[in-house]
Structure 1
Amino acid sequence: MIKFFRRIRQNLLTENKFSKYLFYAIGEIILVVIGILIALQINNSNESNKQRAKEVQFLKNLKSDLIFEESELESYIGIRESIVSSAQIVLEHFNGKPVENLHMFNFHTFNVGIWQEFQRNNNTFLELLNSGNLTIISNDSIKNGLLNLDLIHKKIISDREHLRNDMEHYFYDPWFKTVDLDPFAQSFVFYANNGEFDNTPLSKEEIDSLISDKVFKNGFVLSVFTNSLIIDEYKRMKDLNKKVVELINKEIAKG
């Protein structure tokens, strides 16, 4: 092909047709430029397709993480709500309600003392964030949703640390001075697995002593207050989680 064009140029020069040669040369340059532009367009298109495929894979991984995380949030909301319910039941006894069922008092007290922490399943988000590749997610609503989920979780961590400090001072200290945890824990586990108690770790006298302890009471008050805040944050996180998954589904559907 190159020899063909070269032969045409030579013939034009030989025949002294300079104007035609010039016109032809300009046309040849234009063809070359068009060829280069087409090649660049194809290359850019290929790169764009590769980038999009990479983005879609990240979106799928993010979706998988978020779906698992939503299930975990549902579980931990239930755990925190159970703790709040137990704390409110025990507080009724601090406010004058007689303890008629020692087993249930023991159960609810132990339930308030259980400490379980929600851990995020956000490996894909951290990978994008730490590598500086978050910009590969072209949908700003998805990016903002992911960043806001991270902010909510940081708020949860702050509230959780505050609650831990309060519980260590107001709940665990007076409780550990009274309770022998070995039979107490065995009784709780037995009840959780079998739906009935096999012993009574705390006596009526020990329970009366705890109920008269204002520091211990404040531990339950703070448990209700702070756990309720954490539950609200969990629910906010869960709702936002669902919205981000919906956005991801729509983005993936674009192809």
Structure 2
Amino acid sequence: MIKFFRKIRQNLLLEGKTRKYLKYAIGEIVLVVVGILIALSINNWNEARKLKNQELKYLSGIKSDMKLTIIELENYTNLRKTSINSAENIIQMFNNKKEPTLDEFNFHNLNVQIWSPFKKNDNTYQELINSGNFAIISNDSIKDILLNIELVYKEIEFIESHMYKDFENYMFPIYFSAADLESDISNYTHQVSNGTQGDRTELSKEKIELLLKNQTFKNGFVLSKFNNNLVIGEYKKMKALSEKLLDIIDSKIAKSK
């Protein structure tokens, strides 16, 4: 094809048709430029399509992560409420508003002290950040909510770290020095499993009465109740943000189809 166009130009020059040669040359240049622009346009379209598909893949991953996170938030909210209820029962025993039974004290005491920090499902978000692909998300609202969820999670981590430090300072040393942990755990397991696991071991009334006279130990339950209420508030914030994010992602995916 190139040889064909070159031959035409040579014939025009040999025939002395300079004006026609120039017009032809200009037309050829225009065709080349148009071809280049079309090629660039097709390439840009292909790249845009690839980015869009990659974005949709990330959005689907975020959606899956958020659904799991919402389930975990509901589970941990119930867990914290149970812990608050147990702390209230123990505090009533300290304040002589409730007669302590050995099994009940053991159940509520361990129910508060068993530690399980919340972990969100954010594999897709971490991949976006670590790969430098966060900018692929074209919707600013989605990016803003993801960043806000991360901030709320940091606050949850902060509160939960303080909760654990309170356990270490006010509860663990006092309880571990007085209790027979093997017996207490077996008794607790028997209660929570409705008798299918563990044993209903006999607990020491003397040791429990000793614990109920320790003001520092009581303060540990007061702080646990306070911090659990705080962290439940943060769980609610994260759940609301996660649900809002799901709605926006669903809308975005629907429009792309």
Common fold by TM > 0.5:
yes
Q: Note if contact 2:87-2:225 (Cα within 8 Å) is conserved in structure 1.
A: yes
Cα pair distance change 1:121/1:96, threshold 3 Å = same
The correspondence of residues 156-167 of structure 1 with structure 2, limited to 5 A, is 156-167=156-167
The correspondence of residues 1-255 of structure 1 with structure 2, limited to 5 A, is 1-99=1-99, 101-194=101-194, 198-203=200-205, 205-255=206-256
TM-superposed deviation, 1:100: 5.0
Distance 2:249 2:86 in 1: 39
Distance 1:36 1:148 in 2: 44
Distance 1:149 1:42 in 2: 38
Partner secondary structure for residue 235 of structure 1: helix
Distance 2:178 2:99 in 1: 17
TM-superposed deviation, 1:102: 3.2
Q: Higher mean Cα deviation, 98-107 or 116-125?
A: 98-107
Q: Note if contact 2:80-2:232 (Cα within 8 Å) is conserved in structure 1.
A: yes
Task: Give ranges in structure 2 of 5+ residues lacking alignment.
Answer: none
Distance 1:225 1:38 in 2: 66
Alignment RMSD, CA only?
A: 1.9
1:181 maps to amino acid:
L
Q: Note if contact 1:80-1:231 (Cα within 8 Å) is conserved in structure 2.
A: yes
Distance 1:119 1:79 in 2: 14
Give aligned pairs, total. Answer: 254
Q: Note if contact 1:106-1:202 (Cα within 8 Å) is conserved in structure 2.
A: no
- TM-score scaled by length of structure 2: 0.91
Q: What's the CA shift string for 1:167-186, capped at 9, x where partnerless?
A: 11211222222221111111
TM-superposed deviation, 1:153: 1.2
Distance 2:240 2:109 in 1: 31
1:65 maps to amino acid:
D
1:40 maps to amino acid:
L
Partner secondary structure for residue 193 of structure 2: helix
Distance 2:204 2:242 in 1: 43
Distance 2:102 2:164 in 1: 26
TM-superposed deviation, 1:12: 2.8
- TM-score scaled by length of structure 1: 0.92
Q: Note if contact 1:99-1:105 (Cα within 8 Å) is conserved in structure 2.
A: no
Q: What's the CA shift string for 1:21-73, capped at 9, x where partnerless?
A: 21221111111101100001001111111111111111111211221121111
Task: Give ranges in structure 1 of 5+ residues lacking alignment.
Answer: none
